[in-house]
Structure 1
Amino acid sequence: MRASHTIRPVFDDPNLVSAGGLVPALRLAEAAGLYELLEGVTVPSPNAGVKTASVVAGMLAGADSIDDLDLLRHGAMGRLFDGIRAPSTLGTFLRSFTYGHVQQLDKVSAAVLAGLSVRVPGLLAGADAEGIAFVDVDDTVREVHGYAKQGAAFGYTKVRGLNIQLATISTPTASPVIARARLRRGNTASAAGAGRMLAQAITTARAAGVTGQIMCRADSAYYGWAFVGTAIRHAAWFSVTARMTPSVTAAITSIDPDAWQAIEYPNAVYDETEQRWISDAEVAEVPFIAFTSRRKHQHVDCRLIVRRVKRRQPLTSDGSEQGELFATYRHHAFITNTTLPMVQADQRHRDHALVEQVIAELKDGPLAHLPSGKYAANAAWVACAVIAFNIARATAAAAAMHTARWATLRTRLINIPARIATTARRLVLHLPTHWPWAPRWQLLWSTATATGPPPAIAI
């Protein structure tokens, strides 16, 4: 492709917008009750709900800093939307938040997710009474710069930043949405507050229409009674990576050599004659009692499922002291109380890695920066990012783009150029001809503007 030499750029059209897809996205949020819920946020600032919605809209369009929120103020955006505020106003507004106001915003986020799940049934498809939903908890450190950042410290990643803990909800057929997120000091331990976070996430999942079995998953940083005990109290399954403690190591050593079962894994080959997988990965399980150092009523009788993978190269001499078993294989163990078959339980546990994709999408979007020096302002920014992420996921489900990432949604559905015209006291949104994703966009528009029951999602 080659640019024409006859081009002459002129910034002179007041009827153009660069993010026409914000209209159906915010209509969808309005139908989920966003604006009414924001009226309950008691930040000491005029029109707090309008300003919060402006921050969320800017994030949907790709803003990752306070200055970037100025992308809402161009062309005919003022004709499409009411209440657009300048970045300086929004920055002052965010700095007026306290921790209590951030909690109010978290409550709004959970309620909006419940509203979106009603408006877009495909948002959490497969979470009915016959299905299963997964609640994944993890945390990440967002690196920050400058000495004025409140709460910044060196954490487990050895970089100076702030810690963000989040919980996601997903199903085998639906991409994850964020149930809860919390900004913490940079040197906070991963598992701090895990029980409360998980309890809030399960409550949010139930409010969002999850009626089936819930499986709570986490990595070894959350291997403890706080996480597992909370799952048990809420009648949920747990699946948590085990730390290689002496008791876990002893349990792995006790596994019968004939109990290992080959599984489908990268580079595995299925032998039709023997009707089994020929693989470098195998799984086995053994009964296990976890947390025996705690009070007796907190001992957890569960299954220890172990996946072992052959090492690609022999260990060096200083790594063979543990013996033949651990010198030949790498072992990955997790505890669970599921009733799933062993191989399926292992597959479900490995799927916990999808929470990392959510973290990556957030860091590629609004959490590319934590833009304020004030801790509460950054916490409010994180809460707004959660709302924006869930709205984006709802637009994807409404447009039958269930597996699309946030960056893809911005390109195909949100940041679509449009020209505004007026006829019969109505605004007409003129969109590009031959837009490759026009059918998807029309499906999103139909869902967002429907006045009756939510339409069936099909394309």
Structure 2
Amino acid sequence: MRVSHKVSTDFDDPNLVSVAGLVPTMALARRAGLHDLAGQRVKVPGDAGANAAMKVPALVAGMVAGADSIDDMDLLRHGGMGKVFAGLRAPSTLGTHLRAYTHGHVRQLDSVAAAVLVGLAGEVPDLLKGSEEVAYLDVDDTMRQTHGYQKQGVAYGYNKTKGLNAQLAAVSTPLAAPVIAATRLRRGNVSSPHGAKSLITEALGTARRAGVSGQITVRADSAYYTHAVVAAASRGGARFSVTARMDPAVVAAISRIPETDWVGIKYPAAIWDPDEQRWISDAEVAEVPFVAFTSRRKAEHVTARLIVRRVKRLNPRSVPAGQGEMFAAYRHHAVFTDTELAMLEAEASHRDHAIIEQVIADLKDGPLAHLPSGVFTANSAWTVLAAIAFNLTRAAGTLASTRHARARTATIRKHLITVPARLATSARRLRLHLPKDWPWEHPWRALNDAAFAPPLAPAA
């Protein structure tokens, strides 16, 4: 492919837009209640906080279009965007709005995010497809690296990275890709399970209000192997499936498993073993009853199942003190769970917890590429807005096609959002002229038709 002849350029067309997909997407946001909810619930005082009903959706729109910093919000003010959308704001105005937030205002925005997810689930029934039977709530956190010395809350975290810690809970089903039910931005040096109890409680409540009526299982890695996490799941009417740390009680339980109880399994596709940094295609699984958290008072002991997967070590080590030879020959991975699934199904279901890593990767490839402010509460609000933008993008993809329903955020943005268009006016009505032979024309039309279907009338 090559340029066929000389080309001259001018940035002079007032009727072009580069993100025509924002038209149906923000119409969908309006249907879900984003504008009204922001105006009703976000009460930031002063001029900086005025008109949240316009500023909050503008920030979300910028993130959906690919903005990962406050300056990038200028993307919303090019060409004919002012003809298509009302209430556009300069990046400086949006940045001032975010910096005026306090912790209470961030919590107000949290309630908006939860309500918008409920609204999206009502407008897009397939967003949580299959949740009437079973759903999963995956909890995890990630360090978001920052630079410089001016950002509030920055510290070195568990992975020796200097930055801030983002914690999130994502809801998914076997038939539907994950959406974010709750988020928290925390200091960089906070422990992973800190605040997980309230996060899980809120996320379970949001999931139920969004129409999840089936059994929910809370899944988490070993950092969340705490009584507070398990108790929060149980109080919320959910099951739990948490990776167990190899403490003496767990090691003793594994040692009691008879050799005849181990069942060999072959994985259809090899899975990655992060501890040994290699792909494995076979393992052995067994289970044993287990009582966890016995150091607490008896009423807080939790009895459930310990499902253990073991894999042969490539380089057997010397036997650790107090452990048998099998710990030198095998590496063990234990899951503490009260799920009713059969042993092999429960083990496979827990491995699917890795789905939240894709959510985190999508956020880091988008709005969370940076935490743009030096003010901690502004960055907290930015994180909540990133979750709203993620869910809105997921809902738009679900309306477009079955392929886009499970696509990555970057794919949905490339196919459906960043579509160029020329504006024309006919009979006092705007018309978008999009590229001929656009490969994803039919999904785009499906999204647009659904976004502007009754009872919402097309509006700028």
Q: CA contact under 8 A between 1:179 and 1:201: conserved in structure 2?
A: yes
Once residues 66 and 267 of structure 1 are traced to their aligned partners in structure 2, the CA distance between those partners, rounded to angstroms, is 42
After TM superposition, the structure 1 = structure 2 runs for residues 261-280 of structure 1, keeping only pairs within 5 Å, are 261-265=263-267, 280=282
After TM superposition, the structure 1 = structure 2 runs for residues 365-444 of structure 1, keeping only pairs within 5 Å, are 365-400=366-401, 401-444=404-447
Once residues 65 and 451 of structure 1 are traced to their aligned partners in structure 2, the CA distance between those partners, rounded to angstroms, is 35
Once residues 266 and 183 of structure 2 are traced to their aligned partners in structure 1, the CA distance between those partners, rounded to angstroms, is 34
Counterpart in the other structure of 1:22: 22
- In the TM superposition, what whole-angstrom CA distance separates every residue of 1:169-208 from its partner, at most 9, and x where no partner exists? 0000100000000010000000011111100010000010
Counterpart in the other structure of 2:360: 359
1:259 pairs with 2:266: no
Instruction: Provide the secondary structure at the position in 2 that maps to 1:265.
Output: strand
Q: CA contact under 8 A between 2:266 and 2:282: conserved in structure 1?
A: no
**Which AA in structure 1 matches 2:223?**
A
Instruction: Provide the secondary structure at the position in 2 that maps to 1:339.
Output: coil
Counterpart in the other structure of 2:302: 300
- In the TM superposition, what whole-angstrom CA distance separates every residue of 1:349-392 from its partner, at most 9, and x where no partner exists? 00001101100000000000000000011011111101100000
- In the TM superposition, what whole-angstrom CA distance separates every residue of 1:240-277 from its partner, at most 9, and x where no partner exists? 00000101001111111111112232667xxxxxxxxx
Counterpart in the other structure of 1:50: 54
Q: CA contact under 8 A between 1:17 and 1:76: conserved in structure 2?
A: yes
Instruction: Provide the secondary structure at the position in 2 that maps to 1:241.
Output: strand
1:233 pairs with 2:239: no
Instruction: Provide the secondary structure at the position in 1 that maps to 2:333.
Output: strand
Counterpart in the other structure of 1:153: 155
Once residues 48 and 34 of structure 1 are traced to their aligned partners in structure 2, the CA distance between those partners, rounded to angstroms, is 10
Once residues 452 and 82 of structure 1 are traced to their aligned partners in structure 2, the CA distance between those partners, rounded to angstroms, is 20
Instruction: Provide the secondary structure at the position in 1 that maps to 2:316.
Output: coil
Instruction: Provide the secondary structure at the position in 1 that maps to 2:416.
Output: helix
- Unaligned stretches of 5+ in structure 2? 271-279
- In the TM superposition, what whole-angstrom CA distance separates every residue of 1:186-243 from its partner, at most 9, and x where no partner exists? 0000001111110001000001000010000000001011000111112210000000
After TM superposition, the structure 1 = structure 2 runs for residues 280-295 of structure 1, keeping only pairs within 5 Å, are 280-295=282-297
Once residues 452 and 290 of structure 2 are traced to their aligned partners in structure 1, the CA distance between those partners, rounded to angstroms, is 53
Question: Shift in Å at residue 289 of structure 1?
Answer: 0.6
1:446 pairs with 2:449: yes
Question: Shift in Å at residue 429 of structure 1?
Answer: 0.5
1:181 pairs with 2:214: no
**Which AA in structure 2 matches 1:447?**
A
Question: Shift in Å at residue 75 of structure 1?
Answer: 0.2
Once residues 430 and 367 of structure 2 are traced to their aligned partners in structure 1, the CA distance between those partners, rounded to angstroms, is 30
Instruction: Provide the secondary structure at the position in 2 that maps to 1:360.
Output: helix
For residues 392 and 140 of structure 1, do their structure 2 counterparts lie closer, same or farther at Cα, with a shift above 3 Å needed?
Answer: same
**Which AA in structure 2 matches 1:137?**
V
Once residues 319 and 72 of structure 2 are traced to their aligned partners in structure 1, the CA distance between those partners, rounded to angstroms, is 52
Counterpart in the other structure of 1:13: 13
Once residues 452 and 26 of structure 1 are traced to their aligned partners in structure 2, the CA distance between those partners, rounded to angstroms, is 15
Instruction: Provide the secondary structure at the position in 1 that maps to 2:379.
Output: helix
**Which AA in structure 2 matches 1:86?**
A
Counterpart in the other structure of 2:345: 344
Q: CA contact under 8 A between 1:42 and 1:101: conserved in structure 2?
A: yes
Q: CA contact under 8 A between 1:320 and 1:327: conserved in structure 2?
A: no
After TM superposition, the structure 1 = structure 2 runs for residues 162-181 of structure 1, keeping only pairs within 5 Å, are 162-181=164-183
Give the number of equivalent residue pairs: 441
Once residues 110 and 447 of structure 2 are traced to their aligned partners in structure 1, the CA distance between those partners, rounded to angstroms, is 26
Once residues 138 and 205 of structure 1 are traced to their aligned partners in structure 2, the CA distance between those partners, rounded to angstroms, is 17
Once residues 88 and 452 of structure 1 are traced to their aligned partners in structure 2, the CA distance between those partners, rounded to angstroms, is 35
**TM-score if structure 2 supplies the norm length?**
0.94
1:68 pairs with 2:72: yes
Instruction: Provide the secondary structure at the position in 1 that maps to 2:266.
Output: coil
Percent identity over the alignment? Answer: 60
For residues 24 and 318 of structure 1, do their structure 2 counterparts lie closer, same or farther at Cα, with a shift above 3 Å needed?
Answer: same
